[in-house]
């Protein structure tokens, strides 16, 4: 394989792929902060493109958190209940409206940088509601909310 490269022949595509994966793992181990900034910038660019595509989507809620969190895990653990409650309310709104998608906007600070993203939820995509949100409320023994989630799921599957 490498002999072909030395002779001037092109490598198969998978060699480049594995080399890129190796480089990414090397840099993420030795330079994790720089990789996180690069990924953040790319996500920010994608977000801008997504906003232009989904600009007609109604913003259901906007969560603005002023605290500065160390990283995404810290943010997620401290605000999981707030996020999941808003997701349940968003899906509840989807059962009442003709709209097929709604947007939840979340803004916060992570490691000193402003982090903002739009989460778009659809009537057709109930995976997060059933696989992440429902188990959270089951673990916390909030069975009234679990029953509400099951009703929402049943209504949206009928639509």
**What is residue 90's predicted lDDT score, i.e. its pLDDT?**
96
**For all residues of the chain together, what is the average pLDDT?**
76
pLDDT in tens, 11-49: 455 445 555 554 445 444 443 433 333 333 344 444 444
Could you tell me which residue, 138 or 15, shows the higher pLDDT? 138
Could you list the beta-strand ranges (E) of the chain.
Answer: 59-69, 101-110, 113-122
Q: Specify whether the CB–CB gap between 58 and 103 falls below 8 A.
A: yes
pLDDT in tens, 52-70: 445 578 899 999 988 888 8
Average pLDDT over residues 66-82: 89
Which pair of structure tokens corresponds to residue 93? 């709104």
How far are the Cα atoms of 37, 89, 105 from residue 156, in angstroms, in the given order?
38, 13, 22
**What is residue 153's predicted lDDT score, i.e. its pLDDT?**
96
Q: Specify whether the CB–CB gap between 79 and 104 falls below 8 A.
A: no
* Predicted TM-score (pTM) of this structure: 0.64
């Amino acid at each position: 394989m490498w002999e072909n490269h030395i002779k001037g022949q092109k490598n198969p595509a998978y060699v480049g792929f594995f080399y890129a994966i190796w480089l990414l793992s090397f840099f993420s181990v030795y330079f994790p902060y720089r990789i996180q900034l690069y990924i953040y910038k790319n996500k920010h660019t994608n977000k801008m493109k997504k906003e232009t595509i989904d600009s007609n989507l109604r913003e259901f809620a906007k969560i603005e958190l002023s605290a500065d969190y160390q990283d995404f895990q810290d943010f997620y653990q401290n605000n999981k209940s707030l996020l999941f409650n808003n997701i349940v309310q968003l899906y509840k709104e989807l059962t009442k409206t003709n709209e097929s998608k709604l947007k939840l906007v979340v803004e916060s600070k992570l490691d000193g940088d402003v982090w903002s993203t739009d989460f778009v939820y659809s009537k057709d995509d109930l995976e997060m509601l059933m696989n992440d949100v429902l188990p959270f409320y089951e673990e916390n023994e909030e069975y009234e909310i679990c029953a509400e989630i099951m009703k929402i799921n049943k209504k949206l599957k009928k639509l």
